[in-house]
Structure 1
Amino acid sequence: MPVKHAQPNLSQSQVCELMKRLYNLTAAEMRPLPSYDDQNLYVAPCEGGEFVLKIMNSEDSKNTTIIEVQTRAMSFLHQNGLPVQTAVPTASGQLMSLEEMDCGYGRQKYLVRLMTYLHGVTISSVPSTPKLLYQTGRTAATLDEVLQKMEHPHLSILERENFIWSLSNVSLLKGYLNVLDGDPLQEAVKSVITQYEDYVIPKRPNFRKCINHGDFNDLNVLVQPDDNHGYKISGILDFGDMNSGYYVFELAITIMYMMIEHPDPIQVGGPVLAGWESVFPLNQDEKDCLYLLVLSRFCQSLVMARYSVTLHPENEEYLMITSRKGVKILQRFWELGKKHVEKVWFQHAAEFNKTMNKDVN
């Protein structure tokens, strides 16, 4: 996000006024929720119900069409049985409203949506059992398969050509590498980018295309206790990084983020991959590139977190959540090498599928 003061910071009284004017609701309770560059608030009105008020940053608010497509995608996924938030219409029937307000940086326009509230805790806060990781892979693949059936007149807007978070655009990280000056990590990131360009790009024509959620991370997946003393996925949040990509990109993103809180990150790939392939089996070129795509996503996450801290030093703690553990994982996986990591992942996936099939039969 290029503009330093783009993140909204509405006061309690401004939020109450918005809720009343747009939704005819009286905010009885509210509390902030984490966000990368927007303002998210839990709101419980006197009239009943629980909601999330999402106020987009002023830069992203300029592109109302892409937000409209994301909002439609959430409704479509919800209609197809996935646990996704949906937008609540305003009193005049709109799913979003562009509001001009002053949060201390002068008057700016912010896009406002009221979303349904999903219960659960983030998957990062519970033990990552193989069964839960399998379910995560399966859910991510199902989500992409459902999105392929969605129709909208502006779907082409998801071809986000220079979108820094797309795994098609790993080479764009070169423009941000100066944030790692003096850090030994810089050399590893440069090497990953080079291997991506030499190895992944030539194979990309054989990847199967789809629409990616694009940020299937450990803070965007909610879980609740299930009936077997474990957990089940109860919510998928944040469609702000949706873009046209490839199935294998979503899988790589999912594996990478599920590693962050795991005590033994190499154990994550197998069950996530098994769950994914129970819905959408990979072809050979997709399999060959999975290791480098996971490393590429680590590089995107680490470099862009450092860059964001230069813009928002006050938000460093949240911005660096992934980065602190991610640096060690990236370096470890780079040292282990493609052959070793792939062997572990694909063997574990095969073993896991056998046990799952036994359980079903």
Structure 2
Amino acid sequence: MSQSPDSLSSPKPTLSAEEAVVLAESRFGVRGTAYQLTSERDANFRIRTADGAGYVLKLANPAEEEAVTNLQTMALLHIAQRDPDLPVQRVFPSLSGRHEEILTDAEGRPMVLRLFSYLEGTPLHQVPRSPTQRRNLGAHLARLTCALADFSHSATHHDLQWDIKHAHRLWDLLPYVEAGARRGLVEQILRNFDEFALPAMPQLRAHFVHNDLNPYNVLVAEEDHDRIAGILDFGDMVWTPLVNDLAVASSYQLALEGNPLEDVAEFIGAYHAVLPLEAREIDLLYDLIAARMATTICIASWRASRYPENRDYILRNAPRAWAGIEAFARLPREAAQAQLRRACVA
């Protein structure tokens, strides 16, 4: 991997709840109580004020380039202008009028501090799935992609291994994947990617995308699980073919019994109704979805070996990824392409 060092391999910042309370008030004028939130790379706290208002105080990983952090900030500000009704977090300015405050860690490295709105809702991974929910989520992802279509930033060439276009580099991480038949399935996915998807990458439509619409990054309304209440975590934003973003989200919509694309086709069809896909994009989705699942397995296996104390959180998506990989192995590539073409026509 070319990311060395980076926020994938750097421990997250150390910040106590007491320190978070002080920073929220001194930098943003928000007085409240802090509750730590789970995060793989950053230090995140929910700030709850006496009147019930909620915020998220986020201290970025010092290994993350300031330009990359600013990419996320500016993207959220841009989305708020382009599609104000999209349920994404809002970024609040500090008392000095800036949307980003700079702190330093014990080694003198800069860390970006920001304050976001807190979105109420139930995490998608905690509720049952439904066809209406899938269609709504597919439409929301398409709207988000459209909102980012004219967004520009200097971090265009930000290099992130989670970007599917870099799946050919996963060969370096393969030794961390459990040996045996399962590793063989990942090897086949990487061979297919190298043969079919990698040569097509330069010809595909590309711009900045969310790149991580997994069930932990989506909220649904507590009273209506079919209504999308929040899209979270823009930390994996990259400039990449937009179909890669759809493949990422689709990998979490797989049916684990029967035809694995039954639910995915519904999700992709709803996306296509808002943002029509090109024929070559549709035909690459099978390989790209598989590549995302292989990316999840390879990176998670590598990180779990480096940070065993955080193993459970790091591997939280691995069981579903393995189930998807095994289901995909039973589905002929040509049959998958035909099914997805039909979904988009419908």
TM-score (norm 2): 0.90
Instruction: Tell me the residue number matched to 1:66.
Output: 68
Asked whether the equivalents of residues 39 and 56 of structure 1 are also in contact (C-alpha less than 8 Å), the reply is yes
Task: Give deviations 1:218-238, integer Å, cap 9, x for gaps.
Answer: 111111156xx5521111111
Instruction: Tell me the residue number matched to 2:145.
Output: 144
Instruction: Establish whether residue 330 from structure 1 lines up as the match of residue 325 from structure 2.
Output: yes
2: CA distance between counterparts of 1:262 and 1:138? 24
2: CA distance between counterparts of 1:109 and 1:205? 34
Task: Give deviations 1:158-206, integer Å, cap 9, x for gaps.
Answer: 222x421111111111111110252432222122111111111233344
1: CA distance between counterparts of 2:127 and 2:343? 22
Asked whether the equivalents of residues 43 and 53 of structure 1 are also in contact (C-alpha less than 8 Å), the reply is yes
**How far has the Cα of 1:38 moved from its partner?**
1.2
Asked whether the equivalents of residues 295 and 330 of structure 1 are also in contact (C-alpha less than 8 Å), the reply is yes
2: CA distance between counterparts of 1:297 and 1:113? 29
2: CA distance between counterparts of 1:260 and 1:113? 38
Structure 2 runs not aligned, ≥5 long: none
Instruction: Establish whether residue 182 from structure 1 lines up as the match of residue 179 from structure 2.
Output: yes
Instruction: Establish whether residue 96 from structure 1 lines up as the match of residue 100 from structure 2.
Output: yes
**How far has the Cα of 1:267 moved from its partner?**
2.4
Asked whether the equivalents of residues 225 and 231 of structure 1 are also in contact (C-alpha less than 8 Å), the reply is no
Asked whether the equivalents of residues 141 and 247 of structure 1 are also in contact (C-alpha less than 8 Å), the reply is no
Instruction: Tell me the residue number matched to 1:53.
Output: 57
Structure 1 runs not aligned, ≥5 long: 354-361
Residue 124 to residue 18, structure 1, CA distance change in 2 (3 Å): same
**How far has the Cα of 1:122 moved from its partner?**
1.5
Residue 197 to residue 57, structure 1, CA distance change in 2 (3 Å): same
Instruction: Tell me the residue number matched to 1:112.
Output: 113
**How far has the Cα of 1:263 moved from its partner?**
9.4
Instruction: Establish whether residue 31 from structure 1 lines up as the match of residue 7 from structure 2.
Output: no
Query: Structure 2 residue aligned with 1:22, among 15, 18, 27?
Result: 27
Instruction: Tell me the residue number matched to 1:218.
Output: 215
**How far has the Cα of 1:7 moved from its partner?**
0.7
Over 6 Å off, 4+ runs: 260-264
Instruction: Tell me the residue number matched to 1:157.
Output: 155
The residue type equivalent to 2:168 in the other structure is S
**How far has the Cα of 1:20 moved from its partner?**
2.5
The residue type equivalent to 1:126 in the other structure is V
Query: Structure 2 residue aligned with 1:300, among 295, 304, 309?
Result: 295
Task: Give deviations 1:121-156, integer Å, cap 9, x for gaps.
Answer: 112222221111111111111111111123x4xx24
Matches within 5 A, 1:134-283: 134-150=135-151, 152=152, 155-160=153-158, 162-180=159-177, 182-225=179-222, 230-259=225-254, 265-283=260-278
3-state DSSP of counterpart to 2:136: helix
2: CA distance between counterparts of 1:249 and 1:325? 19
Which range moved further: 169-178 or 8-17?
Answer: 8-17
The residue type equivalent to 1:283 in the other structure is E
Instruction: Tell me the residue number matched to 2:124.
Output: 123
Which range moved further: 121-130 or 200-209?
Answer: 200-209
Asked whether the equivalents of residues 8 and 38 of structure 1 are also in contact (C-alpha less than 8 Å), the reply is yes
**How far has the Cα of 1:44 moved from its partner?**
0.6
Asked whether the equivalents of residues 21 and 47 of structure 2 are also in contact (C-alpha less than 8 Å), the reply is no
TM-score (norm 1): 0.86
3-state DSSP of counterpart to 2:134: helix
Instruction: Establish whether residue 87 from structure 1 lines up as the match of residue 85 from structure 2.
Output: no
3-state DSSP of counterpart to 1:257: coil
The residue type equivalent to 1:36 in the other structure is E
Residue 327 to residue 291, structure 1, CA distance change in 2 (3 Å): same
Instruction: Establish whether residue 7 from structure 1 lines up as the match of residue 2 from structure 2.
Output: no
Aligned residues: 339
2: CA distance between counterparts of 1:218 and 1:40? 19
The residue type equivalent to 1:45 in the other structure is T
The residue type equivalent to 1:288 in the other structure is D
Residue 345 to residue 129, structure 1, CA distance change in 2 (3 Å): farther
Asked whether the equivalents of residues 148 and 210 of structure 1 are also in contact (C-alpha less than 8 Å), the reply is yes
**How far has the Cα of 1:12 moved from its partner?**
2.1
The residue type equivalent to 1:26 in the other structure is R
3-state DSSP of counterpart to 1:159: coil
2: CA distance between counterparts of 1:5 and 1:300? 19
